Structures are given as structure tokens and as C-alpha cells.
């Protein structure tokens, strides 16, 4: 593109083609625009198809995982609330890890947390799972079935480790038919030692 001086020293306008486009510069034709639109629409269609197939394949896994996490959270809340009712950890001893917990409450009742086999889920899921059972005793010396309660089920593994005289660490693995979910919680018992006189 050349710009020349006119007769009176003014600048001349650049040359323009009949289509209104400067020479050396080319516009897209209608055919080129249609081809680009077709290619873009095909790419979007394939991308949308891939995304929907991927989301449908992963959605059940995510929902199962979220459901198991919600169950684990509810189980942890129930277990923590029940442990906090105790005032002293009797067993396991400080630093010892066991699949059971023995607590004494403020009126000297003993509460025992232990695992027993969960046969229906074990057979259905083809993996060993347990139930967490609590039994409260008032030192009467007789077994009372009404004091035994199933607190949680579908447990793969559960251990209690006292980390101080008035707190215990819980390591638990909960299960459903497809996968497991682990959680760890530190729970303090209601220590009433300062009230004893």
C-alpha cells in the first residue's frame, strides 16, 4: 500500500478494491464461514456427547461415595455423643489400641462398646463387616438385654486409642456394598474429676 502526495501536498487515500477491501487483504468467503461453523458444531456435539457419557458413568460412583460419607458422618456423631456421656476411660489403657472401649459414667455405670459380626451385610456384600454394640451395666450382676443396643452397623474396622486420661481417638472404616470410607475422630469424655470431693 503506497501513499503518495497529491498535487497540493495533501495525502492521497489508499487504494481500495471494488468490494471495499484494501488490496492484499482478503475477507472470508461465505463457503469458508459455513465450513468453520460446521466443524465447530461437530466439535461441540462430540464434546457434549463425551461430557454426558462421562457424567453418567461417574454420577453413580460419586453419589454412592457421598452417601457413604453422610452415613459415616452420622455414625461419627452418634458414637461421639455416646462416648461424651462417659466420665472416665477404664479400658483400653493410655496408649493401648483395642477394638473395644469401656467407660464409666458420672453415676458409676459402666458402658462397654464392642464389635459383633454383622452376618446379613457380610453375606450380601461378600466382605466381613461388624456392628458396634453398647451395653450398659449398673453392677447388679445380671445380664439385661434391654441395656444392649446396636449403635452402628456396616463397620469394617474400629479401634479406640486413649490419647490422654480423658480423651480417646477413634479410627473407623465404614462400608457399603461397593466401597469403604475411613474417618478419625478425637473425643473427650465428660471428666468430672474436679467435682469429686
Residues 182, 141: Cα–Cα separation, whole Å = 37
Question: Are the C-beta atoms of residues 38 and 29 closer than 8 Å to each other?
Answer: no
Region 162-183: mean pLDDT is 87
Angle at 140 between CA 137 and CA 143, to 5 degrees: 60
pLDDT of residue 52: 78
pLDDT value of position 66 = 80
Residue pLDDT, tens place only, 59-114: 666 677 787 788 888 888 888 888 888 888 888 888 899 999 999 887 888 889 99
Which pLDDT score, from 0 to 100, does residue 30 have? Answer: 87
Closest of 75, 107, 110, 70 to residue 89, by C-alpha:
110
pLDDT in tens, 103-162: 988 788 888 999 999 898 889 888 899 999 999 887 777 778 888 888 888 889 999 999
Label residue 197 by pLDDT band (50, 70, 90). Answer: very low
SS (HEC) of 12-75: CCCCCCCCCCCCCCCCCCHHHHHHHHHHHHHHHHHHHHHHHHHHHHHHHHHHHHHHHHHHHHHH
Neighbours of 57 (CB within 10 A): 9
Amino acid at each position: 500500500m503506497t501513499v503518495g502526495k497529491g498535487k497540493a501536498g495533501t495525502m492521497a487515500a489508499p487504494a481500495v478494491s471494488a468490494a471495499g477491501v484494501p488490496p492484499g487483504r482478503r475477507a472470508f468467503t461465505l463457503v469458508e464461514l459455513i465450513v468453520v461453523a460446521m466443524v465447530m458444531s461437530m466439535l461441540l456435539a462430540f464434546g457434549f456427547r463425551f461430557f454426558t457419557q462421562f457424567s453418567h458413568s461417574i454420577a453413580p460412583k460419586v453419589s454412592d461415595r457421598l452417601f457413604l460419607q453422610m452415613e459415616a458422618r452420622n455414625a461419627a456423631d452418634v458414637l461421639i455423643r455416646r462416648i461424651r456421656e462417659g466420665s472416665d476411660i477404664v479400658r483400653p489403657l493410655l496408649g493401648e489400641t483395642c477394638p473395644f472401649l469401656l467407660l464409666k459414667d458420672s453415676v458409676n455405670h459402666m458402658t462397654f462398646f464392642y464389635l459383633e459380626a454383622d452376618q446379613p451385610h457380610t453375606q450380601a456384600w461378600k466382605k466381613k463387616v461388624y456392628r458396634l454394640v453398647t451395653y450398659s451395666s449398673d453392677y447388679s450382676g445380671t445380664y439385661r438385654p434391654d441395656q444392649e443396643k446396636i449403635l452402628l452397623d456396616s463397620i469394617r474396622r474400629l479401634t479406640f486409642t486413649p490419647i490422654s486420661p480423658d480423651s480417646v481417638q477413634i479410627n473407623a472404616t465404614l462400608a457399603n456394598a461397593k466401597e469403604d470410607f475411613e474417618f478419625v475422630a478425637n473425643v473427650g469424655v465428660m471428666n468430672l474429676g474436679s467435682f469429686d470431693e
